Every structure is written in structure tokens, then in C-alpha cells.
A and B are shown apart, each in its own frame.
Chain A
């Protein structure tokens, strides 16, 4: 392994004017947190660069972890040498031989940040390219469509050689845009919505409506498992989950409200509870996995009638996505297999035969006026149970886990 460091490039951060420093620091924190298990690493921050010094740590393992950090545009494995053209040539050759043993079309690009260096960028590129051609069998120069771009950077602190760049996740460091409350049911869409919120820098807390005994512990466990996967991208690897005891409110809705409006009104109640929980926690936006037209509750008329209960902004990251697009992301973040487990959640019990697909706000209000739900809503908000879900920290009780571990 000739690489001794990884060069990290910032994402959209670079356009963030005066806030740049704030975002950069958030990203550094996120990277340091993500890489904390690798104790041999060291970090080096220069004005516009962030280096991870490997000190013998396997670069690929580190690279895999970097792929889980938002706000990171790309990164490259880099090798360092002194500011000496012969040293640069030799290092370039070593990098190429390690990275691209087969036939490859390449070009060399040089950045000379250190203007004291005696050669100009173009000269350096030509010198290195010529050296590579002379000392390898199957390299060809192709400046238009190269398979490999070999980057040489001459900086004050030394010269660097990098072959290729790996794309990061992009977006903003999680937490840099504030906090949102994610409504999570356990389906395919809401974890994806949570992932996408985080992508734009929003730190998420989650709210889940549980209606035992209609819904089971396993349905709740499913939500916990899903959040564990979503928490991979969270700033501290953890997400707060607020579990709402929804049974009584839901039973009452079922009893009191007309069938066709039951679902619409149930969701209005959920929004009211969620808004209450959000306000208590100083959270100013909500998010969910609604996707237009998927089910009765997700028609535009439905959305209008349901949304009317709150003035808090609601972000629906997957609203315009096709199901298959959502599934693709679910696979990518490894939530799909968990999402499709067949447990009832509070949205699938008491489903009326024909829910209204064209509900109106006026009718909702009329029906709701027949029964005073306010105490039940307040109870839901008050009796919320909060858990912290962190990566690698869920599953069966410790006792059972220990018994199973013993078996294996």
C-alpha cells in the first residue's frame, strides 16, 4: 500500500459563502465521528483541504465508511512525496502500477499551488506522462477520454499523486440544516424519506404510532431496525424515536367517525400529535414518506384535507418519486428487506373498505365536531415514550442475545 492518506473534497459546501466555516466544521466532525473506530488515523486540515492520514490503516475500509458521510463530494487515495520532480515521477509510476495494472488510457493533470516550484503545471504533466510512458508496457495517453486521470498536486507541504476520485454521497453534513421530525410507519417510503432529509443536512428525530395489541412488538422492532439503518448516516450514529401510544385515540376514531373518513381523520390526528411532539422538542418541520397517488391518503385532495390541521411545514422528500425509484434507494440504504416484513402497522388496521379518495376539509371538520378528541390527542403527546436508536445497538434483549451467542 503506497497510499498514506485520503484527500477529502467538500461538496456543495464550497458555495456557502460566510457559512462555509460552519459547514466545514460540521463535516469534519461527521468524518471524525464516522472514523473514530480507526484509532491509528490522524487528520490534517489545511485552508481548503481535509486529509486523513492512514498510518497503516486499510484505505479501503476507511473509504467504505466515508461513503456514509453526507456533505462529502469526493475523495481520493493519495500518496505524498517531496517537492522534487524525480520523486514525483517515481511515485506516479508506483501509483499507476498499483491501481491500473492492465492496459489503460490516461492523462496527467497537475495543480501547482506552490508557485515557487520551478516547473509549470503543463511541464510537470508532460514530464510525468513521458516518464510513465517510458517505464510501462500498456499505458496510452488520451487527453480526451482517459480511463484514468492521474492528479499531481504540488503544494507547499509536499507533492501528492492520486489516481481517480471516488464520489461521496454529496449533500450537506447532517445537522447543519437544523432538525426535523420524521413520521415513520415501517413501510418502504418513510426510511427513504429520512435518509433524504439527512442528505440535505437535517438531523432527524422519528415519531411512530403504535396501537398494541392491534400492532405487535415486532412491528415496533421493525421500525427500530429500520431506524438503525437510517442512523448510519446520522451525525452521532443515533436517532431519537418517539413512540406514541395510539390505541385509545385510534379506537375512538374507529368508533365515532364514518368509515369513509376514518383514515383521513386518523391522519389528521397523527399530524396533530406529531406537531405537538415537534413543538415540545423545538423542532420546526415535519417530514414523511408520502408519495403522490400511491394510496387513498396520498391523493392531492387527501393531502390538502390532512395537511390543513397544521401550519408547520411538512417536507415529503419522495412525493414525486415512482415506487421503483424509492425501492432503489431503499436497497441502497439496506432498508428494503426489513420494510417488506409483513407486520400490521397502525395504518393497516381498521382499514375501511372504501376510504374517501376525495375528502374535503369541511367534512372532516364537521365529523370531528361530533366528538371531543382533544384530551386523547393531549394524552398521546404527553405519554410519548422516547428511545435512542443507535447503530449496532438493537435486536433482542441482552439475555436472549447472550443465550443465542452461547449457542453459536
Chain B
């Protein structure tokens, strides 16, 4: 199997699995219980939170463990919106559906949503943000790296603008950047950060929202008042531990992995560009090397995905969250690509475990299929 769909999900690292199994076996108490055995699980939770915060250089934040980034995004945006009825949100057209759809929902409820034009340069995006932000703006929500294209947004520079407007809070969806690019909550002035474990070789069903202390969020799941009354439900301490572990592993190796993936990325890029009919879509000035988006003239993305799976090669068309629908990717359309390109586009995404042999195997399979299909 050649798995090149790491932006959709990743395999669980052995060490992470080990942590999860041990924590489940030894610390299965309920962190909210009054007795000592529960307190052990609470300690697991506290230490896991601390480790997560340290890895993001966060001094004035706390961690809300969630079921994943979709919940984190919903909690961040809706939770804040409830305290600012009819307020103003700034976001982009290329967010994950769990941000984008939430914003559309809020728009129907009378909130005002502005969208940054991310086809522009980083400097221009920052300038536009400066222009759009008003005293009514209570939230700027922006992803760090787009999952379909690998476009990197100027999170730090935007953070500096938002810092000048204390009423506006800054939510960053870092699902595709964490462990790959530097994410420093303090430097970037981030108030809310969404994370997912299964994109960084952790287990599924675990995510987190890191929030600035004293930030009031309206809970989206109510019940026993766990996680400081922001997110009810018995806290998944073993999940939290495995998440902290997964995060540490990717963060510790981040710089080294980035270098090797950059080499891999240029290698794949040059081999793709050498193929007639292939057009690479993801060539931004600020491009994550972990993602390549391209299309083959005359072959629909979906067709290509299925053709390659015959070779045991797994790639994707659009993001997994929306690839079941027939419509063209709204992300590509927003980035100014034609509908035909959007329908034909496919994505390969790497992890530090991806090897040169694998990507070469992918290129060979791709060439074979292109010859067959065109």
C-alpha cells in the first residue's frame, strides 16, 4: 500500500498506541471523581494539558479536550458568538466546513461575516484584515494551512493586527500545520487554537481547543460541567495522554521532518511537472510541502482516485469531509480555479513516514493510468 492521503488521516504511531493502551489500563478512573483513584486520572489530564501548552509556548491558556477539530471549531466560533449577538466575524472562503458552515449558519442568524481574499499575497491579506476589522469584530477565524491546497496563511502577521484590537479574538484552525510548521500561541497572539489528534498520528475521536484563560465560551455540549463547564462529558484522560504524546513526537521532530519532506516535495513536483497533461495547482508563495494538489487534463479527480487505488495507491479528491458530494471543491473555486480544474483536481499529502520509493511508485502508477485513461 502506498498511502498518500495523510491530510485526511494518519496511521497511529506505535508509541502513541502504547500510551493510549497503558493509560486506559492503569488510569481508567473518572477525573471528576472525588476519590484518589479518580485523582490519578485527573493528574494524567493535568500533565497532558501542561505538555500541550508547553509545546505551543502558551503561558496564559488552558486546554479543552474535545472529540476532534470539528467540535473544537464549533465550540470556538459558536461559543464565542453567543456572547456577541449580531457581531462581526472575519474569516476566509477556504476554511474547513466546520468553520465555513458554522459561519454560514451564523450569518443566517444575523451575524455579519467578512471574507478575506486569500488569493492575494500575505502582505495584502494582512492589509485587508486591517481594513475589515472594526470595533464590532469579535472574532477572526482563519486556518493556518489549507487542507486541499497546502496554502499557508500569514497567521503570525494577522495575529499582530488582531493584537491591536483587544475586542477581537483570534481563532486558528491548526489541524494541518501542527507538527509541520511552527505554532507559537504567544508569538502569534492566538486566543483559540483547534487541534486534532488523528492528523498527527494520534487516535481518532480526540481533539482539543486551546483557549486563553478567562475567555468565556458558551458550552455547546452541556451536562456534568466538566472541563471547566465548557465541555461536558466524562473526560477522556487516556485520549488526552495519547494526544499529548502524539503532539510531542511530531513537534520534537518538526524541523528535521520539514527538511526531508521539502526534498520529497520538490522531487514529486519535478516528476509531476515532467508528465504531459499534468497541471500542478498548489504552487503558492507560501506553500506547505506536505501537500500537492494537481490535475490531469480530461480526467476527473474521482476517476483518478479509483484508478490509482487499483495499484494500492491512495490519494484523494477534495477533502475527505466533502469528497462524497459531487460538487466541485469550493476551496479551489474560491482560489480562482475554473470549475473544470476544480473537478479534476486531486491531492497527495505526505507524512514524515513517506519514503522516496513510495512516491516513485505513485508516479509510476500515475503514468500508467494516465496512458490508459487519455
Question: Chain A: residues with CB nearer than 8 A to chain B?
Answer: 216-218, 221, 331, 337, 342-343, 395-396, 400-401, 403-405, 407-408
Contacts and interface: CB of A to CB of B under 8 A. Distances in A.
B19 interface: yes
Contacts of A343: 34
A265 B228 CA distance: 35
Contacts of A408: 19, 47-48, 51, 241, 244-245, 248
Interface in B1-53: 19, 22-23, 26-27, 34-36, 39-40, 43-44, 47-48, 51
B367 to A, nearest CB: 45
Nearest to A396: B43
Contact of A407 (B35, B44, B214, B228): B44
A221 B248 contact: no
A337 B51 CA distance: 19
Determine which residue in A217, A221, A407 has the highest number of CB atoms from chain B within 10 A of its CB, and name it.
A407
Contact of B228 (A337, A400, A403): A337
Contact of A405 (B26, B40, B47, B228): B47
A407 B206 CA distance: 17
Contact of B19 (A396, A400, A407): A407
State the majority secondary structure of interface residues on A: helix
B320 to A, nearest CB: 29
Contacts of A396: 39-40, 43
A404 B36 contact: no
Interface string B127-153: 000000000000000000000000000
Contact of A218 (B19, B23, B27, B36): B36
A216 B36 CA distance: 9
A408 to B, nearest CB: 5
Interface in B36-77: 36, 39-40, 43-44, 47-48, 51
Contacts of A404: 27, 43-44, 47, 241
A400 B37 CA distance: 11
B214 to A, nearest CB: 6
Nearest to A405: B47
Contacts of B244: 408
B241 A217 contact: no
Contacts of A400: 40, 43
Interface of B: 19, 22-23, 26-27, 34-36, 39-40, 43-44, 47-48, 51, 214, 228, 241, 244-245, 248
A331 B26 contact: no
A221 B40 CA distance: 12
Given A401-B47, A408-B47, A408-B244, 13 more contacts: A218-B39, A343-B34, A396-B40, A396-B43, A400-B40, A400-B43, A401-B43, A404-B27, A404-B43, A404-B47, A407-B44, A408-B19, A408-B241
Contact of B36 (A217, A395, A405): A217
Contacts of B214: 331
Nearest to A344: B34
Nearest to A331: B214
A105 to B, nearest CB: 17
A407 B245 contact: yes
A218 B35 CA distance: 8
Nearest to B59: A64
Q: Which 5 A-B pairs have the closest CB atoms?
A: A396-B43, A407-B19, A408-B244, A404-B47, A407-B241
Contacts of B35: 216, 218
A407 B44 CA distance: 9
Nearest to B238: A407
A186 to B, nearest CB: 14
B201 to A, nearest CB: 15
B179 to A, nearest CB: 15
A281 to B, nearest CB: 31
A97 B54 CA distance: 31
24 contacts: A216-B34, A216-B35, A217-B36, A218-B35, A221-B39, A342-B34, A343-B34, A396-B40, A400-B43, A401-B43, A401-B47, A404-B43, A404-B44, A404-B47, A404-B241, A407-B19, A407-B22, A407-B23, A407-B241, A407-B245, A408-B19, A408-B48, A408-B51, A408-B248
B236 to A, nearest CB: 14
Contacts of A217: 36, 39
Most buried by A among B23, B34, B244: B34
A327 to B, nearest CB: 11
Contacts of B22: 407
Nearest to B19: A407
A396 B241 CA distance: 16
Contacts of B51: 408
A218 B34 contact: yes
